[in-house]
Amino acid sequence: MKRVRAVTEAEVISEFLKNEFYHEEFHRDREQFERLVLFADITCEEENALRRALLFRRRGHMWRELPADTQWWEMQLEPHDLCKLRVFPRAHWRKVSQGSFALSDIVHRIRTRKFSGRIADFIAKIHVLSYQLRHRTDLTSVILIAEDENSAVTIIEGNHRLTAAMLSNSEKLHERFRVFVGMSPHMNEVCWYNGSVSNLWRYAKNRLKHLWRDKDADLRHLPVPAPVVPQASYAEAVGKVVSESK
């Protein structure tokens, strides 16, 4: 991986939230927050605080596990990096993986094996997304974590799109997305990166701690802007995100 530029956590959260904003957790607030999500001003600290709280509504349990010394970079994926990519180990991916979460192995199984039931429906959606990506030229963002440029890399946002793109054309994968990578020498202590028993136990305790009340996701103490963007603007912008979401 080649470093392009250092980025702030606020910019990465902004990109993450943009890809998440179509989910049900945001339905009741969409009109109020669509401007600051889809047209983010990352120089505004008040907006950054709101976007962080919104993301934590759905992904706080994930973000809290990242090391405090994580540094964020926009990176350029190079062809030889593909063998280091691993999907985020959750939900249907566990059944598709059969023990290996390497993206190249996942893609090989999708190409060569037959699946049934809900997994077959899941794979069908990946194929539809792969077809759509062949005819798109606009870039979306994916978010990865790693110890450093030479270590294994786990996808925490973008499993579906990266898999679909690799099914379509792995040689062009590094040109299809804006890639943000969080790097820390302590990343091996994160359960999303290393699913050891100790890491999973730490995650379970943290998840339980914030299960009933997550102060980081509480918007009540933050200044909230009035809605200024027509719903039509949101619908047009979010259409791309939904069709290319993980």
So what's the pLDDT on residue 157? 93
| Neighbouring-strand partners of residue 85 | 153
The answer, yes or no, to whether residue 240 has pLDDT greater than 60, is no
How far is Cα 159 from Cα 134, in angstroms, rounded to an integer?
17
Q: pLDDT grade, residue 229 (50/70/90)?
A: very low
Backbone phi, then psi, for 3, in 5-degree steps? -70, 130
Domain that holds residue 190: 2-244
Count how many domains the chain has: 1
**Overall pTM surpassing 0.75 (yes/no):** yes
For the four alpha carbons of 26, 27, 28 and 32, in that order, the dihedral sign comes to: positive
The residue with greater pLDDT, 216 or 198, is 198
178 and 82 Cβ atoms separated by less than 8 Å: no
For range 211-225, the mean pLDDT? 71
pLDDT in tens, 6-55: 999 999 999 999 988 888 888 887 888 888 898 999 999 999 999 999 99
- CB neighbour list of residue 129: distance below 8 Å, 6 or more residues apart: 160, 161, 164, 243, 244
pLDDT in tens, 53-96: 999 988 988 999 999 999 999 998 888 888 899 998 777 888 88
The answer, yes or no, to whether residue 239 has pLDDT greater than 60, is no
For range 170-197, the mean pLDDT? 86
- CB neighbour list of residue 191: distance below 8 Å, 6 or more residues apart: 65, 199, 200, 202, 203
Instruction: Provide the strand spans (E) within 67-190.
Output: 71-76, 85-86, 140-146, 153-157, 177-183
So what's the pLDDT on residue 228? 47
